[in-house]
Structure 1
């Protein structure tokens, strides 16, 4: 029997728990803080006269533009340098962007650094999970991916809890506080990324496996479904709090309570979704997710179940805001089981599809809301219809394959 010490140059076995923690730290920085923490900061930025309301809105768009760029060019960055090096650099870039935003030097200065924070978020979203999951046995990928994307939910929850507390010390202190949190998370993740060795569970593909056709049609259907899912999430992400506060006349505090429930759902959602995928498979779990989301988004539109129905709707949609991510990534891995080198590119395309459709839906639904005289219910109806369409595309793709 050979002992591990007989070959000191062999790479150490990958620690799944440590890798999952590194991935969760990356998603917490790149998406949870860099994107969602800006939402409660925006009124404070306007109130402190850093930027006028019309200008501050463009700074949110800068982050989204950077996110798209990061998603598109993450693959090129990973080819130019080791994935672990790129991931560390992107986490440091996000941290530096928080520090830079503590000083309102000019609109251009702020725009560039908000773009940089989005760039880091897009790259981290595309690279972190596939880099880790390539070293995780298939039977544990649901758990690992769920743990990785829990970081997004933690960021959503932090946006409604930690940021308001930091704001009591002023805007500059808040940005620097976010930078400190980001730097600590970067340190936690620093040595958690996989090394040079091939995945311990990897096996050399057989000739039969090499001969497997590339599943282009199924991937295109998945990209379309993921984009439609993004549309379905937008009504709650943007309008839920306003609907409760102004649409139902319950006030800002009641709206904030629903956002806290949304955040609680976002924390547990990825873990529950990952567990479901480990039990049922990613394909089946995705169909369940589309169906549950469609029902949850439709509850406000239909006016069913009153306040309890709204509470359930907020928690479920909050859960799937980050919870849908590990399911789609897992499905990409399933479809490309015999083409592992194509996973990162496919995941980049899926992430881009989600980001583009989310942006289009945000602007489109805002236009619908304005044109309809402030009709919230039609927004939730559109979101539910998009999710039903996503389920239909998935079922049609499965039938076509058979």
Structure 2
């Protein structure tokens, strides 16, 4: 008994050290690179760095980059190795923050915001495939939740860290975010798990060409609709509280901090839920709660109600990642195929997130700034994701019954 204890301790530390590295990567590449921009929008306009229209235009750069990164993540990891590509992407985000502190031109700023999005998309694709194989299957939901807790911490930091930094000036705020990203990159540098030999190309092709469960395509569709459903709260919540409800910028910022608290709670809670209930059932419960929450948001105006709804909504963007990963592990048994499937799921998510961002902006402008309409559309997207599974199951059963009847008639 005594001789096994050190081994157990080493095994546990060997699991949690890579998880810490993954948390740092998601914090830098998703939490800070994307969400720290939201509270910086008013200062960018007030400081006359860019016009209001240009700032909104620049906000799309990270989403477009995220899609490019989701497509490029696996080829980059194959070229450089998982560990080197993750370190390079974290350094890219840090460098982009320092570069954004120098508003040389719109093209310069757009290019660096685009690069930060590319880094975030690549991190999202590669980080889980790097760490989760080190984790026992029964703990992977919780582990993936811990990894993407970093995204939630980044959302919370965007509401709590950025305002104090702004007291030092807008340029120093960007530099401070860059310094934080560098510290996290350095802290995680040696924590990544040792790289393994890459399988032979022919073996990889054999894996990729295996038949894919139809339920995987259903997950892709659900994940894409989730992306479309999370955008309005992510983009318009603060503006809805501050201007739509005339509560003021201070209350809007406070609601955003509360949203960030939900983002911290979400990943680990959803991952734990996936371990206990299974990913499929957990996804259904989460989707139902989110659809109802968005409807309530469109009609709520008290601070207490908004605070509760903000926590629930904040848990969703980072929380659905471990759920989707857990569902992929349920449906796809082979490790290499899991990587391919997760990459494709991330691409579907990134595509619809980018498209939804432009679509909601157009609808918002066309409706004269109707916030509640945005939340109701989002609720519809989430509800569609919820009913997609039973609808597809019904269609599949009907198709199988028709084939059986036709077969019986012909015989």
Report if TM-score (shorter chain) is over 0.5.
yes
State whether structure 2 residue 282 is matched by structure 1 residue 259.
Answer: no
Residues 62-141 of structure 1 correspond to what in structure 2 (within 5 A)?
A: 62-141=61-140
Higher helix share: 2
Residues 165-176 of structure 1 correspond to what in structure 2 (within 5 A)?
A: 165-176=164-175
Alignment gaps of 5+ in structure 1: 5-10, 199-209
Number of the residue aligned with 1:204: none
C-alpha contact 1:277 1:285 (8 A) present in aligned 2 = yes
Equivalent of residue 332 in structure 1, options 328, 332, 353? 328
Query: In structure 2, do the counterparts of structure 1 residues 54 and 250 end up closer, same or farther at CA, with 3 Å as the change threshold?
Result: closer
Query: In structure 2, do the counterparts of structure 1 residues 329 and 399 end up closer, same or farther at CA, with 3 Å as the change threshold?
Result: farther
CA distance in 2, matches of 1:372, 1:269: 32
1:251 is displaced (CA, Å) by 2.0
Q: Which has the higher mean CA deviation after the structures are superposed, 84-93 or 229-238?
A: 229-238
CA distance in 1, matches of 2:11, 2:308: 45
Number of the residue aligned with 1:8: none
C-alpha contact 2:60 2:357 (8 A) present in aligned 1 = no
State whether structure 2 residue 266 is matched by structure 1 residue 269.
Answer: yes
Query: In structure 2, do the counterparts of structure 1 residues 265 and 13 end up closer, same or farther at CA, with 3 Å as the change threshold?
Result: closer
Q: CA RMSD in A?
A: 2.4
Number of the residue aligned with 2:359: 364
Number of the residue aligned with 1:341: 336
1:247 is displaced (CA, Å) by 2.3
Equivalent of residue 296 in structure 2, options 296, 299, 309? 299
State whether structure 2 residue 388 is matched by structure 1 residue 393.
Answer: yes
CA distance in 1, matches of 2:365, 2:45: 22
CA distance in 1, matches of 2:81, 2:365: 47
Normalised TM-score (structure 2): 0.86
CA distance in 1, matches of 2:382, 2:306: 18
CA distance in 2, matches of 1:88, 1:381: 40
CA distance in 1, matches of 2:134, 2:58: 37
Alignment gaps of 5+ in structure 2: 5-9, 198-206, 398-411
CA distance in 2, matches of 1:166, 1:304: 32
Q: What is the DSSP-based 3-state SS (H/G/I as helix, E as strand, rest coil) of the residue aligned with 1:35? A: helix
Q: Which has the higher mean CA deviation after the structures are superposed, 245-254 or 29-38?
A: 245-254
Normalised TM-score (structure 1): 0.88
Residues 3-402 of structure 1 correspond to what in structure 2 (within 5 A)?
A: 15-197=14-196, 214-301=211-298, 303=299, 307-337=303-333, 339-397=334-392
C-alpha contact 2:63 2:353 (8 A) present in aligned 1 = no
C-alpha contact 1:101 1:175 (8 A) present in aligned 2 = yes
C-alpha contact 1:133 1:141 (8 A) present in aligned 2 = yes
